[in-house]
Amino acid sequence: MQKTAIFYGPVGGSTEYVAKRIQEIIGAGKCDLIPVRDASVTDLEKYDNIIFGIATIGNETWHNEPVKSGWFGFMPELEKCDFNGKTCAIFGLGDQIRYADHFVDAMADVYEVIKTNGATVTGSVDPKGYEFNHSRSLIDGRFIGLPVDEDFESDRTGKRIKSWLEEIMPQLGL
């Protein structure tokens, strides 16, 4: 059986909330939930399919808040991992009103590393329905993962997660 996990950070806020909702829908028995602050390349290597969750905090993402996010320490681990044969998807927490010029930028940082290291990345999303000016996570007219805005559009989160999972679960062998 293929093994799937959600690697996410930071803990204790909206990113964790969304990660838990995703795990609930997939089923806890089928998908492990792992905070990136506790994880290493050895943990990544155990899984065939991985969903990454990251919040964009500041224009330079985790570099501004290394301890809280966990991504500062985890990025070198991500860079060490060979993603050939792994299918991955990314969700990103952001705020399209206050940070309209950098909406969910951090998804792009994860995307670049895993793509370079051979991952098949699934789950791109149509930007229609989001209000923002610019995002580094928009590539060829689509978000490279699922943007979630719990600050201003929490009422749309449930539906966004559900339709995204319907699309990606078969690709993740779920």
Selected range binding ligand FMN among 8-16, 82-90, 154-162, 166-174, rule: CB under 6 A: 8-16
Q: Report, in Å, the least distance between residue 164 CB and ligand FMN.
A: 17
Q: How many residues touch ligand FMN (CB under 6 A)?
A: 19
List 57, 110, 114, 165, residue binding ligand FMN (CB under 6 A): 57
Q: Is 102 in the site for ligand FMN (CB under 6 A)?
A: yes
**According to CB under 6 A, which one of 47, 99, 143, 164 is a site residue for ligand FMN?**
99
Is 49 or 157 the residue whose CB approaches ligand FMN more closely? 157
Alpha-carbon span 165 to 156, nearest angstrom:
14
Burial 10-35 (b: 16+ CB within 10 A, else e): beeebbbbbbebbbebbeeeebbbbb
Q: Which residue is it, tokens 């370079």?
A: 116
> CA-to-CA distance for 157 and 150, rounded, in angstroms?
7
Question: Out of 4, 14, 137, 157, which residue is the one contacting ligand FMN (CB under 6 A)?
Answer: 14
DSSP 8-state assignment for residue 125: B
Among 4, 26, 89, 94, binds ligand FMN (CB under 6 A): 94
Q: How far is CA 74 from the centre of its chain?
A: 14
